Amino acid sequence: MAISGDHSESLDVAIIGGGAAGLATAIFAKRRMPDRSIAILDGATKLGAKILVSGGGRCNVTNRVVTTKDFWGGSSNIIKRVLAALSVERTIAFFAELGVALHEEPNGKLFPDSNKANTVVDALLREARRLNVRMLTAHRVNAIRREHDAFAIDVHVSPSATEHEPGETTLRARCVVLATGGKSLPKTGSDGAGYAMAAALGHSIVPLTPALAPLVLDGKLHGQLSGISQNVELTTRSDGEKPVILRGEMLWTHFGVSGPVVLNASRHWHRATLEGRDVTIVLSFLPGEDFAAVESRLVAMMTAHPKVHLHNALATLLPARVAEALLASIGVAGSVPMGQLPKEARRKVAHALTALPLRVRDSRGYAYAEVTAGGVPLTEIDGRTMASRKCPGLFLVGEILDVDGRIGGFNFQWAWSGAFVAAGGIEAALDA
Ligand SMILES: Cc1cc2nc3c(=O)[nH]c(=O)nc-3n(C[C@H](O)[C@H](O)[C@H](O)COP(=O)(O)OP(=O)(O)OC[C@H]3O[C@@H](n4cnc5c(N)ncnc54)[C@H](O)[C@@H]3O)c2cc1C
């Protein structure tokens, strides 16, 4: 039946946002409380858009080992408590129940056996339908107000909605779950509107930055090496902070650098920049080797292969194109025979191999970031229930919270575990 305007329709639970966290919250909650009316309201016409593009279209559902060290942001005690409530083993079992078998790939990443993200989305939607979760797509929430012991939710209903007349309407709910995600990849529907709603309900917001974002570089080196991928070590140094040393694969691109190690480093660059701290990222092409070790290596090469040209000698350590472009960028001739390499040039090369500063101009921003750092502080929720400490009846799950995981399936695990905890919290709140 089409309904429009402010009407008396009242839900037990309104979940704002039907991404990973919202869908999982609906499923876990409805399994516990089959008789409660639970609806997902989402501005998008289809749910789970971000899951579909995740993991290169394959959805890295979780990781074999997930610990608090895989996350940045708020209190690690709360992160630990939430993760423990739905462990990786139970997450694997949950997806198996839904008919999604997972397999492990390098670095512990777990993907669906189908290697297709739509297997994950379809399974979540099927389960939500089986449980009679109402999925109100094309329902964009504009504001949420606490009124007496319930919430009034102002919704814009688009013409493609299958329930309710297009236009403005107000729904009511006893509990609200904010699962609106962050600001990353806004074309999927996650444009950060949830932060303003959380703030209007009494929450503070830890300032936001993109995280897991490719980095844009100044200079010419990256353009010459576009398409080359290599294992490197990146050290992010910023005033007053311990250096963050990360290793992994880096991809040179036409705009700068990408790949897992760069995406992981980007949040540290952004947080330091946001806080006005000087920050540098230096690149080592030879992870684990310091300047002295590399200089000794070069000295040994000079003795063992005095006639070999420098660029050929370096090509035993790096991709040949990288060796050539690197030498050109530091103004050392690659054609010099190793036996005639001057000390100053040798030191310059050793320095470039172990501590080449990346000239970071910016990241590619939210349009390319996989997650958002910052958000609702974990100190403002109860980690046993995901309930807001600021507004009774409100729950928060997923990326809207001040937690961002590294690459590897950790952000989804945060969403699944938080959803599981919230379901228990909502049940207790409705029964109280
Ligand atoms: C390209 C890419 C690849 C990724 N790959 C992985 C991966 O392989 N593994 C991993 O662990 N993580 C990955 N991530 C991160 C992961 O997708 C997110 O952390 C996760 O989806 C967050 O889930 P969420 O439910 O909190 O938010 P979202 O998935 O962003 O869902 C939020 C939902 O809320 C809706 N919404 C927002 N505002 C409103 C409003 N006002 N009214 C109604 N609805 C609203 C949106 O339409 C959206 O459907 C990737 C992210 C990107 C961008």
Average pLDDT over residues 85-105: 98
pTM exceeds 0.85, yes or no? yes
What is the structure's pLDDT at 262? 98
pLDDT at 163 > cutoff 70: yes
Q: What is the DSSP letter of 188?
A: G
> What's the CATH number for 5-209+373-431?
3.50.50.60
pLDDT at 177 > cutoff 70: yes
Average pLDDT over residues 131-156: 96
| Ligand 1 centroid, distance to 50 Cα (angstroms) | 5
What is the structure's pLDDT at 179? 98
Residue nearest (by alpha carbon) to ligand 1 atom 47: 189
> Out of 102-116, 129-143, 187-201, which region has the weakest mean confidence (pLDDT)?
187-201
Classified as helix, coil or strand, 144 is strand
Q: Which amino acid is at 280?
A: T
For the Cβ of 183 lying below 6 angstroms from any atom of ligand 1, the answer is: no
| Ligand 1 centroid, distance to 340 Cα (angstroms) | 57
Average pLDDT over residues 174-179: 98
What is the structure's pLDDT at 6? 54
For the Cβ of 259 lying below 6 angstroms from any atom of ligand 1, the answer is: no
Question: Which among 130, 139, 138 has a CA at the least distance from the CA of 160?
Answer: 138
Domain boundaries, given as residue ranges, for the chain: 5-209+373-431, 214-364
For the Cβ of 260 lying below 6 angstroms from any atom of ligand 1, the answer is: no
Mean pLDDT of the chain: 95
Q: Give every strand in the sheet of 279-284, ordered side by side.
A: 356-358, 279-284, 229-238, 244-252, 256-258, 215-217, 360-363
What pLDDT band is residue 8 in, cutting at 50, 70 and 90?
low
| Ligand 1 centroid, distance to 181 Cα (angstroms) | 5
What is the structure's pLDDT at 148? 86
For the Cβ of 370 lying below 6 angstroms from any atom of ligand 1, the answer is: yes
For the Cβ of 410 lying below 6 angstroms from any atom of ligand 1, the answer is: yes
Q: Which atom of ligand 1 is nearest to the CA of 369?
A: 53
| Ligand 1 centroid, distance to 54 Cα (angstroms) | 9
Region for residue 398 given its phi and psi (left: phi exceeds 0; alpha: psi -120 to 50; beta: otherwise): left
Q: Give every strand in the sheet of 109-112, ordered side by side.
A: 62-63, 109-112, 102-104
pLDDT at 209 > cutoff 90: yes
Q: Which atom of ligand 1 is nearest to the CA of 182?
A: 30
| Ligand 1 centroid, distance to 22 Cα (angstroms) | 9
Whole-angstrom distance, CA of residue 244 vs CA of residue 234: 8
Nearest-10 Cα torsion for 82, 65, 405, 21: -50
Mutate to test the pocket of ligand 1, among 412, 417, 420, 421 (most ligand atoms within 8 A of CB): 412
For the Cβ of 399 lying below 6 angstroms from any atom of ligand 1, the answer is: yes
What is the structure's pLDDT at 3? 45
For the Cβ of 169 lying below 6 angstroms from any atom of ligand 1, the answer is: no
Average pLDDT over residues 139-157: 96
Whole-angstrom distance, CA of residue 210 vs CA of residue 267: 7
Residues composing the chain: 432
For the Cβ of 161 lying below 6 angstroms from any atom of ligand 1, the answer is: no
Whole-angstrom distance, CA of residue 182 vs CA of residue 266: 16
Distance set, CA 94 to CA 12, 105, 117, 214, 370 (Å): 25, 19, 16, 32, 24
Average pLDDT over residues 260-273: 97
Question: Which residue in this structure is represented by tokens 């990256």?
Answer: 222
For the Cβ of 214 lying below 6 angstroms from any atom of ligand 1, the answer is: no
What is the structure's pLDDT at 284? 98
pLDDT at 4 > cutoff 60: no
Assign 3-class secondary structure to the chain: CCCCEEEEEEEEEEEECCCHHHHHHHHHHHHHCCCCCEEEECCCCCCCHHHHHHHHHCCCCEECCCCHHHEEECCHHHHHHHHHHCCHHHHHHHHHHCCCCEEECHHHEEEECCCCHHHHHHHHHHHHHHCCCEEECCEEEEEEEEECCEEEEEEEECCCCCCCCCEEEEEEEEEEEECCCCCCCHHHCCCCHHHHHHHHCCCCCEEEEEECCCEEECCCHHHHHCCCEEEEEEEEEECCCCCEEEEEEEEECCCEEECHHHHHHHHHHHHHHHCCCCEEEEEECCCCCCHHHHHHHHHHHHHHCCCCEHHHHHCCCCCHHHHHHHHHHHCCCCCCEHHHCCHHHHHHHHHHHHCEEECEEEECCCCCCCEEEEEECHHHEECCCCEECCCCCEEECHHHECEEECCCCHHHHHHHHHHHHHHHHHHHHHHC
What is the structure's pLDDT at 257? 98
pLDDT at 2 > cutoff 60: no
pLDDT at 9 > cutoff 80: no
What pLDDT band is residue 5 in, cutting at 50, 70 and 90?
low
| Ligand 1 centroid, distance to 400 Cα (angstroms) | 9
* Number of alpha carbons in the 13 Å side-chain half-sphere of residue 228: 17
Whole-angstrom distance, CA of residue 47 vs CA of residue 339: 64
What is the structure's pLDDT at 91? 98
Q: How far is CA 223 from the centre of its chain?
A: 26
Task: At 226, give phi and psi (nearest 5°).
Answer: -50, 130
> Out of 2-16, 41-55, 130-144, 179-193, which region has the weakest mean confidence (pLDDT)?
2-16
Residue pair 140/155 in contact (Cβ under 8 Å)? The answer is yes
pLDDT at 1 > cutoff 90: no
pLDDT at 429 > cutoff 80: yes
What pLDDT band is residue 386 in, cutting at 50, 70 and 90?
very high
What pLDDT band is residue 219 in, cutting at 50, 70 and 90?
very high
What pLDDT band is residue 187 in, cutting at 50, 70 and 90?
confident
Whole-angstrom distance, CA of residue 103 vs CA of residue 357: 38
Task: Tell me the Cα Rg of the chain.
Answer: 25
What pLDDT band is residue 185 in, cutting at 50, 70 and 90?
confident
